[in-house]
Amino acid sequence: MRVKTSVCITIFILILSLSASAVDIVEIKLISPIGAVARSVVPGWGQFYTHDKLQGVAVLLSVGILSGLGIKTDAQYRDYYYNKYRPAVYSGSSQAASYFSKSNDYYKLSRFLLYAAAGIWAYAAIDAYIDAHIYNARKQSAMIDVNSERLQKLK
């Protein structure tokens, strides 16, 4: 009984090894969608991870430029508010209203630029997650096509 079992196991292993050598198994490297989102902490890195370099550069530049402009505009708002508007109010100057209007314009613009940068950053994280799934699906589809072609050649 033991001899029959060992012979059967040996034949089974031999058949598996022959079938594995007849059809080469090619492994594909999939990317993690959660990893893409985690890498999106740095703007554009999630897109680089999903092999979309052009979009990664675009995200990095747009978030960087909008953030830089937002910070610069916020500094101008603070300058107008603290150095021009407040002293004009305390001194009773007639220009206080124009200083307030100018500082308010800078405030609104700075918030718009910073929120736009944050919105692009959040969009990029979501896009990296979706692109990781699309990348994985394309790789798996290509692998199915390659394997089916190999099987057709064997027949």
What are the extents of the domains in the chain? Answer: 34-154
- Joined together, the tokens standing for residue 75 give 């500094």
For the stretch 55-87, pLDDT in tens is 999 999 999 999 999 999 999 999 999 999 999
Is residue 140 scored above 80 in pLDDT? yes
Rounded Cα distance between 10 and 3, Å, is 10
Is residue 12 scored above 70 in pLDDT? no
Mean pLDDT (the chain) is 85
Please write down the HEC assignment for all residues of 14-27. Answer: HHHHHHHHHCCCCC
Helix 53-79 vs helix 96-154: angle between axes, to the nearest 10 degrees?
170
Closest Cα partner for 49 from 141, 154, 143, 128?
128
User: How many beta carbons lie within 10 A of that of residue 48, not counting itself?
Assistant: 18
Rounded Cα distance between 122 and 50, Å, is 16
Whether residue 46 contacts residue 40, with contact meaning beta carbons closer than 8 Å, is answered with yes
Q: What is the DSSP string of 18-55?
A: HHHHHS---------HHHHHHHTTSTTHHHHHTT-HHH
Is residue 20 scored above 50 in pLDDT? no
Question: CA triplet 44, 125, 123: central angle to 5 degrees?
Answer: 95
